[in-house]
Structure 1
Amino acid sequence: MIKGKVIEWNDSKGYGFISALNGELRVFLHISTVQSKGRRPKVDDEVKFEVNEDKKGRYNATNVTILGSGSVPSTIMFSIVYLVLASTAVFILGGEKLFIAAYILMSIVTYVMYAIDKNAAQNGKWRTPENTLHLLSLLGGWMGALCAQNQLRHKSKKQPFKSILWLTIFVNIGAFVWTFTPSGSVFVQNVISNWF
């Protein structure tokens, strides 16, 4: 097995190149040879692989393992820690348990919308407006958005999309914290009594 680094990656086409042996070896990488399930390569990933030479003398990577792919990405860890802290706050401080269910439901809906949008992008179909994706994040689906960016590699590099996404995350967290204040608690109770 040889160690190297992904130096080029086209996620929509599922291929790229690995540099190994201090840049002396450039190896073609195809997604079908990656062993790390649920994790797609990206530029600067460290990988371990075997090399085959095809009939034209080109080097192709096989049995590719992304090193460190067993670790939880920071955005996913952020989401998990937040959900645990939010759940703890709701139960200890007497917040609305409905918020936890809403976070989970909205995250699932948002993840599905990202998946649909990625599929549409790959097939040249009608796309979900970015404002819709941001609104879903603002309404509590941001954990699903972060998971989708990480797993689906969709909207994960585009600016200013990423900056706006993080703005919606912090506004949502701020609004959640506000619900524990006297004015926030009254507002939530009024909304719940009017809707339920």
Structure 2
Amino acid sequence: MLSSPPILWLGGRDVGSGSAFFFFSAYVVVINMAGFLAFAWDKHCARNGLWRVPERTLLSIAAVGGTIGALVANEPCVTKRARSRSGRICF
């Protein structure tokens, strides 16, 4: 009996359809890292008066799965901070 051909050949091993979880996980990690880096770079440019990342690019990265990375980058990289009466930092 002939076995079905592998879907993808990757580094000396055959990767079949059972590895969909691996590819999905890798995609989520990569797109969230890209979202984090894009939002952090935009905040850096805003602080230093440089050309900023277009909002369309930032929102596109967030829309295709980089929302968690974007939210994580937003907190430590806040450009404008205001103190409330209690002394806590808020938006």
Q: TM-score, normalised by structure 1?
A: 0.29
Of 41, 45, 50 in structure 2, the residue corresponding to residue 116 of structure 1 is 41
Where do 4+ consecutive residues of structure 1 move more than 4 Å? none
Q: TM-score, normalised by structure 2?
A: 0.60
Of 132, 135, 138 in structure 1, the residue corresponding to residue 60 of structure 2 is 135
SS of residue paired to 1:151: coil
Instruction: Specify whether residues 145 and 115 from structure 1 end up closer, same or farther in structure 2 by C-alpha distance, changes over 3 A only.
Output: same
Could you say which residue in structure 1 is the equivalent of 2:20? 96
Q: Which runs of 5+ in 2 are unaligned?
A: 1-17, 81-91
Matched residues, percent identical?
35
Q: Which runs of 5+ in 1 are unaligned?
A: 1-93, 156-196
CA RMSD across the alignment:
2.1
User: Distance in 2 between the 1:131 and 1:152 partners?
Assistant: 19
- Which structure has more relative contact order (CA 8 Å, sep 6+)? It is 2
Residue identity opposite 1:125 in structure 2: L
Q: Cα distance, 1:120 vs. partner?
A: 0.7
Kindly name which structure, 1 or 2, has the bigger radius of gyration based on alpha carbons. 1
Could you say which residue in structure 2 is the equivalent of 1:153? 78
